[in-house]
Every structure is written in C-alpha cells, then in structure tokens.
A and B are shown apart, each in its own frame.
Chain A
Amino acid sequence: MPIIEVKNLSKTYEYYKKQPGLLASVKGLFRREKLYVEAVKEINFNIEEGELVGFLGPNGAGKTTTLKMLSGILYPSGGEARVLGHIPWKRQKEYQKQFALVMGQKNQLWWDLPAMESFILNKEIYEVPDKEFKYNLAELTELLDVKDILDIQVRKLSLGQRMKCELIAALLHKPKVLFLDEPTIGLDVVAQKNTRDFIKKYNKEKKTTIILTSHYMKDISQLCQRVIIIDLGRIIYDGRLDDLIKKYAEVDDILVDEVEVDDVIREIFGNGGGVK
C-alpha cells in the first residue's frame, strides 16, 4: 500500500490585479477585479514506502503548494490525499508526529539562540524520550559533522551550517515521511554535496519516504530514481529519471548535472508541454 496517495488534488488561490500607478491603487481601494489562479490542478500520484522522489517544476508550478497541502498547512480546494493513512489537513497529532517539512528558505530555529535550544523545544513538542533524543542527536550530529556548532547562535552560522541544523531539528523525532523543499538552495557546491550525501545516506539507512524539490539537476540526478514533474499546476511527467534523461538526448549525462532543472524540462517538453 502506498505511503502517500494523492487523488485529484487541487488548490485555487484568489488574487487581484493592479495596474501601475497611484491612481490605479486608489481605484483598487474601492473596486478590485478578483482573479483566481489554480496553483494545483487535479494532480494524482502514489509514493511507496522508502522512495525518494524528485518533485520538479519551474517557479510557481505548484510544488510548494502541494507540499504544504501534504503537510496540512493548506486546505485543498478539491481532491483527496492520504499520507500514512491520515488526511493531512485534519492535522491529527498522530500524523504530525510522523512527518517533517524542511524549507530551504524558511527556518524553524530560534534565530538568536544556539540550535540546541530549538532541538530541546522540539524534543518536548514531539515527545521524544530522553534516551532516544540523545541517541538521535548524536547520530545526526555525527552524520552531518556539526558537533562544534550546536552551541553557537543560529544567526552566526553559515547558510550551510544552518541548513544542517534545520535538518537535525526536523529529524530528531524520526519522521517516516520527509518533505524537503529546496534544501540546497543558496548553498555553495561543497555544502550542496554534503547535504545531498546526507539525504542519500539517511534515506538508505532509515527507509524514510522523501519528496524532494530542487532547482539543481545534480540534486535530482544523484538522489532520485523517480521524478514527478509539475508545471502550471499539472503533472506532466511521472516516471524514471533515466527515461527522462534519455529524452534529453542532445546533452550527455555529465552536462545534465550542471544545468538547472527548468532547462531540462523546457528542452524535453518544450512550450507545447505546458512549460512557461
């Protein structure tokens, strides 16, 4: 039975348009043209236990929206989803204790305190027993090689070090499902590689089911066998990465690693494939 089941999942956002200029803003005070954007349109996919799936697409394709629905942060406009047998947006504690979400552009650590203080708070929130906490923490700090920085204010850490601490904070309760939203964004090449190696090892050892989004092809090609490509809210590809790369015939594998995911998608599916 799949760990993650998504059926016809949709999300529509409301927004309004404004012409440039002050006058338009004044007009906007009284009258606004309401517009709707379908960020996610009836998507379907299943993910089995232990899979590490790449979730790709250009900016605004609907990746983060999907992850947020699967995390229970957003209510969908339509469709169904089950993760570990739970409906995410019901926000049941049994579910919330079994998954984690890491966002490369947002942090959950207390900014002016050492990361350790955030870990301790998470330990209590996730009700991790003392012994398990110590064990998990030792294991994660060892794996990520961050023993020396746990007592330093988070804001003083480099982006790479901070991401490592974010990962620890998210994994201390041993989630069965992990959503990684651009965990390598903004990191330098070395830090990217370290993060990647860690994700690979962690997935292999713990059999954690992982959905990973990234703009770096290298992340995807080295970590995922299966990719789901979403664009303008629709899934345009769901299958093996190898097959996708074969379609990207003009360029060899080494070069594939160096390009951005968006370029690969654009090259393969073209504008006809729905890519902007």
Chain B
Amino acid sequence: MKLTAVKLKKCVKIWRLSLYNSLMQRMAYRFNFLLMCVGVFLQMILTLIFINVIFGFIDNLSGWTREQALIVVASYMIIEGLMWATCAYLAGISRNIRMGTMDLILIKPMDAQYLVSIWRGDPEDWVRVATALLVFIYAIVNLDIPLAVVLKNLIYYIILMFNAYVIVYSITLILKSFSFWFVEATSLNLFNQAVTRMSQYPTDIFAHKIAKIIFSTVIPLAFIATVPAKILIGGMNLYLFFSSCALAIIFFYSSRKFWLFALKHYSSASS
C-alpha cells in the first residue's frame, strides 16, 4: 500500500514537471503561444456559431434542444482539450518512432506507456477546457433544471466524463500503437480525429440501427459526450452508467495489452 502511494506520488511529480516544461517551452516563444491560444479559442467559437446556425432553422436536433446540444458540444471540448493538454506526445508518436527519438524515453526507469503519454502537454489547450467550461455553465443556467437536481447529476456526470476521457485515451493509444508497425502513420491521426470528432454532436443524429450499435460498442462514441450529457440533463440511467464504467475498463485494459504487444515489435530507427 505504502509502495503504491510512493509510486503514485512519483507519477504525479513527473507529470507536473512535464506540464511545467511544456508550458515553459511554449512561453519561450511568446507570440507563437499567444497566437495558439487565440487560435484554439477561435476554433471553438466557430463550432458554437455552427450550432447556433443549425438551431436558427430547427427547434431540436434528434430530440436535443439548443442548450442540451451545447452540453454535448462542451463535454466533447472538455475531453478533447484535456487529451491535448495532458497527452499531446501521443499524437506525435509516429514521428518520434520514425526519427528514433522515442528511444531515450523508453530506457527511463518508469512505465513506458505512462511516460510516453504524459511526456508533453499542449498548454494552449487549457484555453479549450476553460472555454468549454464557460459554454457548459451557460448551457446549464439556461436549461431550467433546479440547482439541486443539477448538483446531484453533476456527480454522475463527472464520473462519466472520467470514463469518457479513459475511453478516448485508450482509443488513441490503440491507434497510435499501430505506428510501431506502420512507422509513417499520419493516417492514424486523421482516423483518430475523424472518429472522436463524430462524438462532438449528440450521437442520436446517427439514426441508422447499425450506426447505433457500432457507436455504442466497437467505437463507443456515444459514451464520450452524449451519455454524460444525457444523464446530466435527464438524471441517472443505471444501464448507461454501468455500461460506461465497463467500457472504460475494457478499453483501458485492451489498450494496455495492445501497447505492450506493439512495443515488442518496435524496430526503432537507425542512428
């Protein structure tokens, strides 16, 4: 028990240092950093404008009102923002494999998956998280749900969002692990983005039966933003709640196994 606590403490410390280093690295180029923050902010504004335009024509989107849909959008943005802000190195894995620069991380006396995941975080994406939280608060306030109900559902929501983060992380890790074979794997980035971005709107818009089954099992997009939003708005749904927990565990376990398997096939680059 004590050993686990010590290990955990070390993990947190390394994570903190890597976040600091990422931030300091960005701040070394002030204007670039500023522009990146503004860029991230504008990107999000565009999404919000898009939502507004859609709701200018319709009252509801597959049963979701504007404010409800905004909760889904904000939830997705929080998850996406957190992924970039904490695990940005994962996105660049294929490049680092091709150049062989990952070698020096792999020899360090820490879990390679952990180190590779947290090695770099993009600080400008905290802007994404912060903006998303503002949108989230705005949507909640305009939803007309009693505060007591919101607070109660919020606890479930936070757990579901944690699961969503784990699911997105695991999908990313699995896709990125293919880089060990493909080496040049920009395609995986595109695929990864395509897949996760589909979850930024209520998944009910994918009305086809087969789509529904796929998006709640194989690629559980529904559980990334839609399910947390659903439970926050409509209250607890035990089936969805436990499905989300189970999926998070299954995905995390599989991604871990797959990563370890892929690592064995690593062929590195020459000097």
Chain B residues closer than 8 Å to A65, beta-carbon distance? 270
Does A151 make an interface contact (CB < 8 A)? no
Chain B residues closer than 8 Å to A45, beta-carbon distance? none
Chain A residues closer than 8 Å to B108, beta-carbon distance? 96, 125-126
Q: Which residue of A is nearest B112, CB measured?
A: A91
Does B29 make an interface contact (CB < 8 A)? yes
**Given contacts A121-B14, A121-B18, are A105 and B109 in contact (CB under 8 A)?**
no
**Given contacts A124-B17, A125-B108, are A117 and B24 in contact (CB under 8 A)?**
yes
Shortest beta-carbon distance from B4 to chain A in Å: 15
Contact partner of B109 among A120, A126, A181, A182, CB < 8 A? A126
Q: A74–B14 contact, CB under 8 A?
A: no
How many B residues are at the interface, by size bracket?
20 to 34
Does A72 make an interface contact (CB < 8 A)? yes
Q: B25–A110 contact, CB under 8 A?
A: yes
Chain B residues closer than 8 Å to A181, beta-carbon distance? 271
A96 to B14, CA, bound (A): 17
Does A146 make an interface contact (CB < 8 A)? no
Chain A residues with a Cβ closer than 8 Å to the other chain, count:
38
Choose, from B97-105, B161-169, B188-196, the stretch at the interface: B97-105
Give the contacts of B56-114 with A (CB-CB under 8 A).
Answer: 99-101, 103-110, 112
Q: Beta-carbon contacts of B8-20 to A below 8 Å, as 1s and 0s?
A: 0010011001100
Shortest beta-carbon distance from A105 to chain B in Å: 5
Shortest beta-carbon distance from A150 to chain B in Å: 15
Shortest beta-carbon distance from A191 to chain B in Å: 19
A96 to B103, CA, bound (A): 13
Q: B104–A106 contact, CB under 8 A?
A: yes
Q: B271–A101 contact, CB under 8 A?
A: no
Q: A13–B271 contact, CB under 8 A?
A: no
Choose, from B41-49, B230-238, B260-268, the stretch at the interface: B260-268
A96 to B109, CA, bound (A): 5
Q: A103–B17 contact, CB under 8 A?
A: no
A106 to B110, CA, bound (A): 20
Does B1 make an interface contact (CB < 8 A)? no
Does B254 make an interface contact (CB < 8 A)? no
A97 to B115, CA, bound (A): 15
Give the contacts of B228-270 with A (CB-CB under 8 A).
Answer: 264-268, 270
Residue of B28, B101, B109, B115 with most partner-chain A CB within 10 A: B109
Does B216 make an interface contact (CB < 8 A)? no
Shortest beta-carbon distance from A77 to chain B in Å: 11
Does A112 make an interface contact (CB < 8 A)? yes
Q: Beta-carbon contacts of A92-110 to B below 8 Å, as 1s and 0s?
A: 0100110111011111101
Does B186 make an interface contact (CB < 8 A)? no
Chain A residues closer than 8 Å to B106, beta-carbon distance? 72-73, 91
Q: A124–B13 contact, CB under 8 A?
A: yes
A72 to B266, CA, bound (A): 11
Contact partner of A74 among B99, B104, B266, CB < 8 A? B266
Shortest beta-carbon distance from A231 to chain B in Å: 16
Q: B28–A103 contact, CB under 8 A?
A: no
Chain A positions within 8 Å of B, measured between CB atoms, are: 13-14, 60, 64-65, 68, 71-75, 91, 93, 96-97, 99-101, 103-108, 110-113, 117, 120-121, 124-127, 153, 181-182
21 contacts between A and B (CB under 8 A): A64-B271, A68-B268, A72-B107, A73-B106, A73-B266, A74-B268, A75-B264, A96-B107, A103-B104, A106-B103, A106-B104, A108-B104, A111-B25, A112-B28, A120-B17, A121-B17, A124-B14, A126-B108, A127-B10, A153-B28, A181-B271
